[in-house]
Chain A
Amino acid sequence: MSLMHYLVLSGILFTIGAVTVLVRRNAILAFMGVELMLNSCNLALVAFSRVHGTLTGQVMAFYVMVVAAAEVVVGLAIIVSIYRARRTVSVDEPSLLRN
């Protein structure tokens, strides 16, 4: 398993996550896309860490996980409050801030 395999996998996962964010209207699913992108990055970081034989990349991956956990808490709270207010979790519906 060379580095290239990890990187290609990471790229594929990132692309799937990005497309999910761009294409799906459901906020929960878009959120999952974001998580997928973050974790694809983590995969790349860990892979590089392994190749270089240092811990920097792994430490970086831990940071990302912590931040992602915090982000999930805030993001889900926003989605729940939007759902309570507007009875929908579509990301296109609350476009009140346009123009």
Chain B
Amino acid sequence: MIDLAWLVVAIPLASSALLLLLGRRSDAWGHLFATAAAVAAFVVGLLVVGEVLGQSPEERINDVHLFSWIPAGELSIDAGLRVDPLSLTFVMLITFVGSLIHVYSIGYMTHDPARRRFFAYLNLFVAAMLVLVLADSYALLFVGWEGVGLASYLLIGFWNYNTEYAVAAKKAFVMNRVGDMGLIVAMGLMFASLGTVSFSGVDAAANGLSTPMATAIGLLLLLGACGKSAQFPLQAWLGDAMAGPTPVSALIHAATMVTAGVYLIVRADSIFSAAPTAQLVTACVGAFTLLLGAAIACGKDDIKKSLAGSTMSQIGYMVLAAGLGPIGYAYAIFHLVTHGFFKAGLFLGAGSVMHANGDSTDMRTYGGLRKVMLVTWATFAVCWLAIIGVPPFAGFYSKDKIIETAFVGEGWQPWVFGGAALVGAAVTAFYMSRMFFMTFHGKARWVDEASKLGADDPRPRRHPHESPLVMTLPVVVLAIGAVSLGFLLSLGDGITGWLEPVTGHAEHHEPVLPVPVIITATLVLVAAGVALAWRQYGMNSVPLTAPTGSALTRAARRDFFADDVNEALAMRPGQHLTRTLVYADTAVLDGAVTGAAAGTVASGRVLRKLQNGYVRSYAAMILAGVVIAGAVLHLVRL
């Protein structure tokens, strides 16, 4: 069965190609076919997991050779799959959550004329993401890396007749390219210093790397991870990426693609272990982004953009854990899995709410939706409790482990990282509770369409209703995961033991504070965050238009001026540079070419005058020529 692991990738890829090639002929059944392909990939993945579970832990790293891909002299790259606990964890997450989101999309995209194309892109994404996680070399990983970038671009800009959405897609694509440059250069350095880019080759030889080289490769890999995972300083695209349909936000920009950076860091363990500086920078980036994303999430009134800030923040937690080295890897992946469930659940819940409110994303026009959307309310509540880390929900198990691990170490680091993680937990509790209370509780800030209130009422007219079963069912499944997954995955050795063949055995270290103190502090801070949000947005009424707010709020609403900084530092200088180059091209290069042509034409025009048709003048010219030639010869003789 392990030899058939390529089927996991091939099924969605073939389905995507089929739907795109058949075009409108497959409109009627395309969505069902694509969903079946995603489920089939999940089933194959499940069979592979079953077989790997039958192996003893030491044997669980399987390399499946597929074909010789780039045999070019010294550079010889084989395409193969690495089937090991880490990649299988991702395969399960991607195909399971992916299948649920396919099902949800059947309902969500019912009225979209291009639904078949949407499903083809979703399948393309699933296939590319599976290539990314199953690749056995950085080169093949890069193919998947670009594939998910392409799918993300296509899906963010799915409604590209709206210029703003098309611009958001382009922004995501361009910012991802910046990160990709890091990955490409890192691969180049690996090949230059180690002569290979396969995982097994790099892992075997990484010990011999000099520290500066390992640091350079590590930092470049981190740059790639930052681009894909929306970490500082390449985080600005994620908020705009919410322009895509909500299932896309749930699958690509919350559960799977944006976590690829964390996967890369964990996968490149051998490089990062040889480069403590790169590890420290990784942890700093994670700690900073988790606070930045949380602050952005507090400031946004757009439910999807607030969730995008939250995603940034939660991935910050994972990157922080991954930056702590082998003791954090397993917890980073643990949080990644639970986050994939509850964040997908939150996004799909938000999608249901938007669906019910005429596609409005402004939380200030929601309120009191619990009565009309009971199932959505219940699932959202479960996912909300999971993300803020209330026991026994999934987020408690995974996030608490990360906070504990962040407190391990010496010197200033445990206090800074642990402190950031603690503060982040409190802010997470605040902004998620704010979202929850603003959406489902308090007084309704909308008017039912049927009501007889006067036309001067400023509140929008809505007709909220619960979503159909095809949309609620996947969310219920995700909510069940959000309740139980944390407990299930930490049973016994749990996910730590399962991942141990890949992440290596980590000695248990005691945090600088006793564990019960950390847990208590976390829970107290979480409770404080929820209480504050309840006081502000649950008990008090929420104004329909946003108040001016403090300077911090205003900055958070504008993503802490990330766009302004990028525009000032990169976009405008870039535009000036390209314009200068275009000018130089037209003036100098084109000028030389067209100038030569114009000179030829002009000299021809002058010489043409000599061709006057008078035989006698020709004769005179011939004579003059002969005389001149004779004179020259005579002079040269002398």
Contacts and interface: CB of A to CB of B under 8 A. Distances in A.
Interface of A: 18, 21-23, 25, 30, 91-92, 94-99
13 contacts: A22-B616, A22-B619, A22-B623, A23-B616, A91-B614, A91-B615, A95-B613, A95-B614, A96-B613, A98-B612, A98-B613, A99-B611, A99-B612
Interface string B52-82: 0000000000000000000000000000000
Contacts of B613: 94-99
B634 interface: no
Interface string B609-634: 10111111001100100000000000
Given A18-B623, A22-B620, A22-B623, A98 B615 contact: no
B608 interface: yes
B612 A92 contact: no
Contacts of B612: 95, 98-99
A97 to B, nearest CB: 5
A21 B611 contact: no
A26 to B, nearest CB: 11
A95 B611 CA distance: 10
Nearest to B617: A22
Given A96-B613, A98-B613, A98-B614, 11 more contacts: A18-B623, A21-B619, A22-B620, A22-B623, A91-B614, A91-B615, A92-B616, A94-B613, A95-B612, A97-B613, A99-B611
A35 to B, nearest CB: 14
A98 B611 contact: yes
A18 B625 CA distance: 13
Contact of A91 (B608, B616, B620, B623): B616
Contact of A92 (B609, B611, B614): B614
Task: Please indicate which of the listed interface residues B609, B614, B620 has the most CB atoms of chain A within 10 Å of its own CB.
Answer: B614
B620 to A, nearest CB: 5
A97 B616 contact: no
A92 to B, nearest CB: 6
A97 B612 CA distance: 7
A30 B612 CA distance: 18
Contacts of B623: 18, 22
B118 to A, nearest CB: 67
A94 B609 CA distance: 17
* Chain A, interface SS category: loop
Contacts of A18: 623
A79 to B, nearest CB: 12
A69 to B, nearest CB: 21
Nearest to A18: B623
A30 B614 CA distance: 13
A21 to B, nearest CB: 5
Contacts of A22: 616, 619-620, 623
Contact of A21 (B608, B614, B616): B616
Contacts of A94: 613
Contacts of B616: 21-23, 25, 30, 91-92
A21 B615 CA distance: 9
The 9 closest A-B pairs by CB, nearest first: A95-B613, A98-B613, A91-B615, A98-B612, A97-B613, A21-B619, A22-B620, A95-B614, A99-B608
A23 B615 CA distance: 11
A87 B442 CA distance: 113
B623 to A, nearest CB: 6
A92 B608 CA distance: 18
B601 to A, nearest CB: 15
Contacts of A91: 614-616
A95 B609 CA distance: 13
Contacts of B620: 22
Contacts of A25: 616
B602 to A, nearest CB: 15
B611 A97 contact: yes
Contacts of B614: 91-92, 95, 98
A97 B608 CA distance: 11
Contacts of A98: 611-614
Contacts of A97: 611, 613
Contact of B609 (A23, A96, A99): A99
A25 to B, nearest CB: 8
A22 B614 CA distance: 10
Nearest to A98: B613
Contacts of B619: 21-22
A47 to B, nearest CB: 19
Nearest to A94: B613
Nearest to B612: A98
Nearest to B620: A22
A27 to B, nearest CB: 9
B608 to A, nearest CB: 5
A92 B611 CA distance: 13
Interface string B587-614: 0000000000000000000001101111
A40 B449 CA distance: 117
A99 B605 CA distance: 9
A16 B224 CA distance: 90
Contacts of A92: 614-616
A40 to B, nearest CB: 14
B96 to A, nearest CB: 83
A20 to B, nearest CB: 10
B626 to A, nearest CB: 10
A91 B615 CA distance: 6
Q: Which of A23, A96, A97 has the most CB of B within 10 A?
A: A97
A94 B614 CA distance: 8
Interface string B528-554: 000000000000000000000000000
Contacts of B611: 97-99
A31 to B, nearest CB: 11
A18 B627 CA distance: 12
